Amino acid sequence: MIKAILISLFALLTALRSEAQAPQQVDLYSLEQFQQRVLQENDTLYVVNFWATWCMPCVKELPHFKELSKNYANRPVKFILMSLDAKDKLAQTNAFVQNKKIGIETHLFSAGDPNVWINALEPSWEGSIPATFLYQHGTKLAFKESYFATKKELESFINNHR
C-alpha cells in the first residue's frame, strides 16, 4: 500500500516536473482571444508588450520584461508578450522565445487588418512597436508607444498605474 502511494506520488511529481519544464509554446491569437485574456474582472494586472523578433528596440527591452516578470512572480501581475511576427514565422518566434529563455506567456497576434485592430486596441497608437499596455479589472489603464531603456523605467510605468 505504502509502496503504491509512493509510486503514484513519484509519478505525480514527475508529471509536475515535466509540466514545469515543458517547452513554452507560442500560439496564434485572434483579437477576440486577446481581449478575453486581458479584459478580466479580477485583480490581476496584465502587462502586455507588443513586439516582434525582427524589431530591434523590442528585442532590446525584452530582458526588462523577463526580469520584472520574475520579480513580480508572487504578485497578481501577469506579463504577456504579443508577437507581431508574420504567421508563417510561428516556429521561428517559438524558437526565439525558447532560446532566450524568456519564460513569459507569448502569443503570435494574428488579427487580420491592422487598421481595424489597432484602432480597437488604442486609437492613438501610430502603429510602431514596441508598444506596451496595462489592463486591470477589464479596463485599459495605460498605453505607451515607445521602448523602455531600463528595467526601472518599465517598473515605474507599471507602478504609476497600479
Partner 1 sequence: MKKLLAGVIALCSITFVSKAQDSGYKPGAEVADFKLKNVDGKMVSLSSVSDAKGYIVIFTCNHCPYAKAYEDRIIALHNKYASQGYPVIAINSNDPKVAPDDSYNKMKERAKEKQFPFVYLYDEKQDIAKRFGAVRTPHVYLVQNTGGQKVVRYVGAIDNNWEDAAAADQPYVALAIDELNAGKPVATQETKAIGCTIKWKK
Task: List contacts with partner 1 (CB under 8 A).
Answer: 52, 54-57, 84, 86-88, 113-115, 118-119, 124-129, 137, 139-146, 160-161
Instruction: Work out how close the CB of 3 gets to partner 1 at its nearest, in angstroms, rounded to a whole number.
Output: 56
All 3 cell numbers of residue 43?
485583480
Instruction: Work out how close the CB of 63 gets to partner 1 at its nearest, in angstroms, rounded to a whole number.
Output: 18
Question: Burial, 61: exposed, middle or buried (Cβ in 10 Å; 0-12, 13-18, 19+)?
Answer: buried
CB nearer partner 1, residue 66 or residue 141: 141
CB nearer partner 1, residue 103 or residue 110: 110
Distances (CA, A) of 44 to 76, 85, 152: 5, 27, 21
CB nearer partner 1, residue 31 or residue 141: 141
Instruction: Work out how close the CB of 105 gets to partner 1 at its nearest, in angstroms, rounded to a whole number.
Output: 21
Straight-line distance from the first to the last Cα atom of the chain, in angstroms, rounded to the nearest whole number: 51
Residue 161: other Cβ atoms inside 10 A: 14
Instruction: Work out how close the CB of 136 gets to partner 1 at its nearest, in angstroms, rounded to a whole number.
Output: 8
